[in-house]
């Protein structure tokens, strides 16, 4: 197993939040076979799977268990207008690769810091496009059935969610059917998407984890948070971004406890004003810090998976 993994792995620099302690053991499969081999040789219940760690807060006190990072699973295959991408392929890379051969449908991914596995898992969307628009099927891992291929319909996509979350499915590969289009039009759309993202979301030069809370049905988490003065909130080394109230930026060496404490302030303020309990969009990995565990019980209604 040593060829696939590192023990006591310092994860901080690998997260977009630039927060996190040491992980007990991290596995780095490069393809489906290696991924499956790791699961075969390791107790599955002890493993958690992550992609580019762009929507994940990892405890500054670390995590004693084992995780898989799919960042080295980054193969892309193109056959006419069909594109197959491994889970670790970053969104911008897939978007650019499709654009270079004149294929449209993934322009929205150009500004996403995440990877394909996570984006299918949560049905990522932006600029009136979503993963589910062009996806045909995905190869997933299920602890009872092993590797299974599920169609778009079987994946039961909805806003920022899919069957993967409900059934604990791990996305390993995705196939898309794209539309031929002039490269100039595709790149024009990509540039517009980048400009929109730049004006509405912080760049990773300000370490962040993307949107903190999901939009409640029929409303906007950003609007609700803005209305209760969240843009003035801060905690330790982190603060709410001044340009959008649903983002937290790590501006001064913040800790995971800082982030969770600030999330709690934001959550409780909206609950008091509107009787709406915002649901976190970011994942949390920890468990060693009792104060963090208490905050997670409230924010996630349980310790998050």
Show pLDDT as tens, one digit a residue, over the chain (305 residues): 446 799 999 999 999 999 999 999 999 999 999 998 888 777 666 788 898 899 999 999 999 999 999 999 999 999 999 999 999 999 999 999 999 999 999 999 998 888 999 999 989 888 888 999 999 999 998 888 888 999 999 999 998 889 998 898 999 999 999 999 999 999 999 999 999 888 888 987 899 999 999 999 999 999 999 999 999 999 999 999 999 999 999 999 999 999 999 999 999 999 999 999 999 999 999 999 999 999 999 999 865 65
* 253/250 Cα distance (integer angstroms): 6
168 contacts 143 by C-beta, under 8 angstroms: yes
State the catalytic residue, choosing from 160, 163, 177, 277: 160
* 271/97 Cα distance (integer angstroms): 43
Task: Assess whether 211 carries a catalytic annotation.
Answer: yes
State the catalytic residue, choosing from 60, 104, 115, 211: 211
Cα 222–chain centre separation = 18
The strand pairing partners of 66, in sequence order, are 25, 47
* 305/287 Cα distance (integer angstroms): 11
Task: Assess whether 160 carries a catalytic annotation.
Answer: yes
Distances (CA, A) of 249 to 160, 195, 210, 287, 300: 22, 20, 9, 22, 20
Three-state DSSP class for residue 285? strand
Global pTM reads: 0.88
What are the start-end ranges of the E strands in 135-276? 135-142, 146-151, 170-177, 179-180, 234-235, 238-240, 248-250
* 210/82 Cα distance (integer angstroms): 29
Task: Assess whether 227 carries a catalytic annotation.
Answer: no
Nearest to 51 by CA among 96, 94, 8, 113: 113
Domains and CATH numbers, the chain: 5-69 (3.30.43.10), 76-200 (3.30.465.10), 221-299 (3.90.78.10)
């Amino acid at each position: 197993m040593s060829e696939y993994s590192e023990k006591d792995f310092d994860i901080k620099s690998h997260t977009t939040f630039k927060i996190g302690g040491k992980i007990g053991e991290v596995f780095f499969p490069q393809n489906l076979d290696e991924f499956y081999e790791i699961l075969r040789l390791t107790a599955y219940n002890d493993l958690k799977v992550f992609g580019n760690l762009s929507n994940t807060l990892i405890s500054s006190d670390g995590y004693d268990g084992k995780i898989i990072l799919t960042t080295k699973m980054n193969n892309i295959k193109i056959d006419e207008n069909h594109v197959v991408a491994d889970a670790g392929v970053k969104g911008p890379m897939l978007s650019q690769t499709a654009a270079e051969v004149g294929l449209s449908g993934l322009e929205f991914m150009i500004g996403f810091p995440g990877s394909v596995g996570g984006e299918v898992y949560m049905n990522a969307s932006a600029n009136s496009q979503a993963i589910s628009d062009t996806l045909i099927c995905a190869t997933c891992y299920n602890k009872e059935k092993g590797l299974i291929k599920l169609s778009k319909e079987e994946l039961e996509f909805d806003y920022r969610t899919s069957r993967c979350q409900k059934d604990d499915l791990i996305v390993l590969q995705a196939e898309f059917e794209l539309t031929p289009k002039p490269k100039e039009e595709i790149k024009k759309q990509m540039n517009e998407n980048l400009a929109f993202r730049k004006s509405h979301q912080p760049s990773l030069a300000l370490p962040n984890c993307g949107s903190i809370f999901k939009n409640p049905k029929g409303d906007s988490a950003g609007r609700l948070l803005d209305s209760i003065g969240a843009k003035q909130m801060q905690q330790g080394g982190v603060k709410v971004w001044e340009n959008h109230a649903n983002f937290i930026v790590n501006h001064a060496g913040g800790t995971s406890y800082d982030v969770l404490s600030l999330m709690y302030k934001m959550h409780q303020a909206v609950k008091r004003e509107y009787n709406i309990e915002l649901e976190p969009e970011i994942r949390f990995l920890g468990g060693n810090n009792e104060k963090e565990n208490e905050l997670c019980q409230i924010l996630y209604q349980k310790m998050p998976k």
